[in-house]
Chains A and B, each alone.
Chain A
Amino acid sequence: MNLHEIDVAVIGSGPAGMAAAVRAKETGAKNVVILERAEELGGLLHQCVHNGFGLFYFHEDLTGPEYAHRFIEKTMDAGVRPMLETMALNISPDREITAVSNKNQFLKFRPESIVLAMGCRERSRGALNIPGTRPAGVFTAGTAQRFINVEGFLPGRQVVILGSGDIGMIMARRLTLEGARVEAVVEVLPYVGGLIRNEVQCLHDFDIPLFLKHTVTNIYGERRVEGVRVAEVDSRMNPIGGTERDIACDTLLLSVGLIPENELSLTAGVELDPVTGGPFVDGARQTTVPGIFAGGNVVHVHDLVDNVTWESEIAGESAARFAMGERIPAWAGIKLKAGRNIRYVVPHTISGNEDVTLYMRVREPEQNVRINVGDIAGKSELIVKPSSMLKIELTSEQLKKLGKNVTEVVIDCQKWGGK
């Protein structure tokens, strides 16, 4: 395949990238490539050796590497060309990609369309401004996961985990199984940051102490972590004097949030939503730059891989249609607005003519609510939490009820009978 004949270039080969590439090929795009900076396809799935992948997409309980393997096979069968150990450095607004690789060396090419599927990164200690010394032994949960599951090393034996995101809780269990002792999982909010299934299966089942409304206020140790200070916080998240206590440990893991990785998107002039940290996208997952599409955690952080896959398939299909000459109108359509207790809704706009799935998160946990999409659809939930993404499927029939001149639809989370 000649670099100058590429129809769709996908950046990243995690679940998002592979799903987009496969779907682009299935939609009819001839030459589809994936640019992956690592040595193999699959992205972070390889280090997620726990199960729970594909429950909805494959109706099977797979591990991360198994899920990756299924899609690697699909990718190869579909005839997608993987460009491994290749890193995109820059994308120009007219879609010229600059990349380097130690095989193909220095590349510049301009595919017909691009799918951004770079995923996300973890918030670091520096971004959190945790006070204390700067010793070895402070890791983000995902970095520790890679060390243990891929590289074959255990960071330490006595661990405190700050934050109760999914990776943090999964690492609490993983470390326990490896023979390390998890002294505490410390969460600043009054509820856990990850999925309930992880709270139960990773913390409660292993008797790992969980401290809600607590935070780490100091790190000790000059060369290697020797301990941390933990304190309760008030409603404004300030530590409460007198509640501090020191916990001896050799390792501190951080699981305090994920940030969509959009530095490359910015080089192309793609506009980002400050709430999600990802690009503004329409129903076709087109960004604000025509011909550049996005799917998966680069758009907004998901909690289930299945949703990443589905969403990226839309991006892959749209990118293929664009590459084959179909003009997808940029940013026309109906704007979706986050209303009461809704933090964000993806996509940001919809055409109103096609079936569409809306993904959203609430701001605060609430019980007995109804999510209303304007007055055309709704869904009742017993409990909603910021950590669990909500999904509402709308049919084109339902959307017809909106009428012709509607430009905006508000999505609200209302208490039962509270209207």
Chain B
Amino acid sequence: MPEGDHSAFGELNMKLDTEVLIIGGGILGTSVARELSRYRVDTTLVEREVDFGWGSTKASATVVCQGGDCLEFRKEYRNSRFVWDSIPLMEPLCRELDVPFKRIGSLSLIRNNNELVKYQKMKNLADKYLPDLEPHQWIDRDTLRRIEPHLTRDVIGALYDPKPAVTDPVRLSIALAENARENGTNIMLGTEVVSISRGTDSFEVQTTEGLIRTRFIVNAAGVYVDKIAAMVDADEFVVYPVKAWIGVLDKKVGDIIRHVVTARPSRPGELIFVNPTVHGNIFFGIPLQLNKRGDYSSTRRMSQAGFATIRSLVPDVSEKDIINSFAGYIMYRNYELGWHECVVAASRKIPRFINFCIGFPGVSAAPAASKEVIRLLSSEGLQTVEKESFKASGRAIPDFSEASDEEKKKLIQKDSRYGHVVCRCETVTEGEIVEAIKRGATTMDGVKYRTRAGMGRCQGGFCSPRVARILARELNVPEEQVTKKGKTSRLLLYKSKELLEGAVNEPA
């Protein structure tokens, strides 16, 4: 089945020339691609997965604009600067690209006097560093009970920050990539970088889909950022993969918590949190753990800790309300100290090679940090002449479930497939699924992240056969070739009766 857009090659192992190659199609890579598409620069983005944002981006708690948390974010860290500078950029960016965004504010729970002292310090820092942004407020216990009635009573108050918001980081990555593509960026999905060799004024990048010659490289490879850098000896930094686990609650209890709520059990860095998502679920997470990279499995211990966490913050939650959980990685600069610094730098040894890794919170820092990457590229010698033809706005796939009755009527009148509900838990229609495929979804997960089909309480039990059928039809491939997430992740290995007829082909 078609995995991404290989049209630039025509045939496999053709050679492609580009000016800037971005490695990685997560929130950082797509942000740079979109920024760069404002200029007359020949840009190519490669992503090893068959879609955008499938690494750390999809494992985000989806909270952005949380930079007022100055216990972790300090002036001397460039990361803090990027997060702060991104706060006023995030909402306009989401509006421009038609990505859901909701400002909900955050509550840092204060459970004893020690914590109170810490948060006083934090508020002072925030007042000092962020004078232009809306300030924090102290919330007493009674007010807290009124605004978050389901929250644990075991608190003396909270520090309220009005700035934090929630968005959909995967949809934001997709929207950024779509917009970049519309403005001329060449995007190649399912394309993994195998090796990089250096010429005098260019790099030769061998990928699984062919050779790419480029003058500049932006390494935004997420969990593999240091491995890519090491291919050309540009790994002048150390990052540690830290595993995060997030549990998901049913929309049914989606109003049980209204703000981003965080608490610090004992040591710094051991943050636990619960927050609503922009789509009406609740996410909750446990402290991060150092882990072997690439292992996305969750463990029994993680889910037990997760349930204990959510119960400690919101005692009313029942285990039955958990509909899913997932794990992902954050690349930390310095794990031991529990603070956050990022890698946004031109390699000191290798010219025209930019390493770009934020760690936490990558999505929040992306808007400002990607502008910094453009500055770095231009100081490395890239000509950045603005394009007059740049088109800034993007348009989301219609969201039937969120539409008003009038809008629903209009959608159905325009295209009767919007009257055919395929995913009943999230009320996703065939119209939305077909549109998602038209825009580049090639897999079950691709459809899911764009439309939420299969993301509800039955987790695709009902709609997956129907989505698979629509994918096969729209992509014009046999249904057995439909995959969950590209490559060998085929959903259906055989036709009925195929195993009875003797000759059986092993799954590809």
- B416 near A122 with CB under 8 A, answer no
Q: Are A148 and B496 in contact (CB under 8 A)?
A: yes
Given A146-B465, A152-B495, A157-B493, do A131 and B302 touch, yes or no (CB 8 Å)? yes
Closest chain A CB from B309 CB (angstroms): 13
| A101 engages B419 (CB within 8 Å) | yes
Main secondary structure of the interface of B (DSSP, over half): mixed
| CB pair B408 A178 closer than 8 Å | no
| Residues A154 and B409 in contact in the complex (CB < 8 Å), given A121-B461, A178-B500, A266-B252 | no
* Complex contact A106–B405 (CB within 8 A): yes
B417 and A140 form a contact (CB under 8 A): no
B493 in contact with A126 (CB, 8 Å)? no
Interface majority SS (helix, strand, loop, mixed), chain A: mixed
Does A356 count as interface, using CB distance less than 8 angstroms? no
Residues on the B chain within 8 Å of A155, using CB:
491-493
- With A100-B419, A102-B420, A126-B459 known to touch, is A136 a contact of B322 (CB < 8 Å)? no
Size bracket, chain B contacts: 35 or more
Is B300 located at the chain interface by the 8 A CB criterion? Answer: yes
- Which residue on chain A has the smallest CB distance to residue B400? A100
- Min Cβ gap A257→B in Å is 11
Q: Mark A82-113, 1 if CB is under 8 A from B, else 0.
A: 00010101000000001011110110100000
Chain B residues whose CB sits within 8 angstroms of the CB of A157 once the complex forms: 493-494, 499, 504
A79 to chain B, nearest CB (A): 26
> Does B464 sit at the interface, judged by CB under 8 A?
yes
- Residue A311 is within 8 A (CB to CB) of chain B in the complex: no
Q: Which residue of B lies closest to A175 (CB)?
A: B499
Q: How far is the CB of A47 from chain B (nearest CB, A)?
A: 10
CB-nearest residue of chain B relative to A148?
B496
Bitwise, A247-267 to B at CB < 8 A (1) or not (0) is 000110000000000010010
Interface residues of A, Cβ cutoff 8 Å to B:
37, 85, 87, 89, 98, 100-103, 105-106, 108, 121-122, 124-127, 129, 131-137, 139-140, 142-143, 146-157, 178-180, 217-219, 222-224, 239, 250-251, 263, 266
B303:A153 contact, CB within 8 angstroms: no
Whether B296 pairs with A134 at a CB distance below 8 angstroms is: yes
Given known pairs A87-B424, A126-B325, the reply for A178 and B412 (CB within 8 Å) is no
Q: Which residue of B lies closest to A225 (CB)?
A: B489
B427 at the interface (CB under 8 A from A): yes
B153 within 8 A of A: no
User: How far is A131 from B245 in the complex, measured between Cα atoms in Å?
Assistant: 11
Residue of B nearest to A37 (CB): B421
Q: Say whether B416 contacts A102, CB under 8 Å.
A: yes
Contact A153 B458 (CB under 8 A): no
B144 to chain A, nearest CB (A): 28
Report B-chain residues with C-beta under 8 Å of the C-beta of A148: 496
Nearest to A132 among chain B residues (CB) is B297
A106/B461 contact (C-beta < 8 A), A87-B421, A224-B489 known = no
Contact partners of B325 in chain A: CB under 8 A? 126, 129
| Interface residue B231 (Cβ < 8 Å from any Cβ of A) | no
Q: A100-B421, A150-B465 are in contact. Are A129 and B322 (CB under 8 A)?
A: yes
CA distance A252 to B437 in the complex (A): 28
Query: Are B420 and A154 neighbours in the complex by a CB distance under 8 Å?
Result: no
Whether A124 and B459, one on each chain, are in contact in the complex, defined by CB atoms closer than 8 angstroms, is yes
- Whether A106 and B459, one on each chain, are in contact in the complex, defined by CB atoms closer than 8 angstroms, is no
Given A102-B419, A125-B459, also A135-B496 (CB < 8 A): no
Nearest Cβ on chain B to A244's Cβ, whole angstroms: 12
State the CA gap A37–B425 with chains docked (Å). Answer: 13
Would B489 and A152 count as touching, CB distance under 8 A? no
B182 on the A face (CB < 8 A): no
CA distance A381 to B484 in the complex (A): 48
A106-B408, A122-B458, A126-B325 known; A147 vs B419 contact (CB < 8 Å): no
Contacts of A132 in B (CB 8 A): 297-298
Contact B458 A129 (CB under 8 A): no
Task: Report if B320 contacts A (CB, 8 A).
Answer: yes
B487 at interface (Cβ–Cβ under 8 A)? yes
How far, in whole Å, are A360 and B488 apart by their CA atoms in the complex?
46
* Other-chain contact of B465, A121, A151, A239, A251 (Cβ < 8 Å): A151
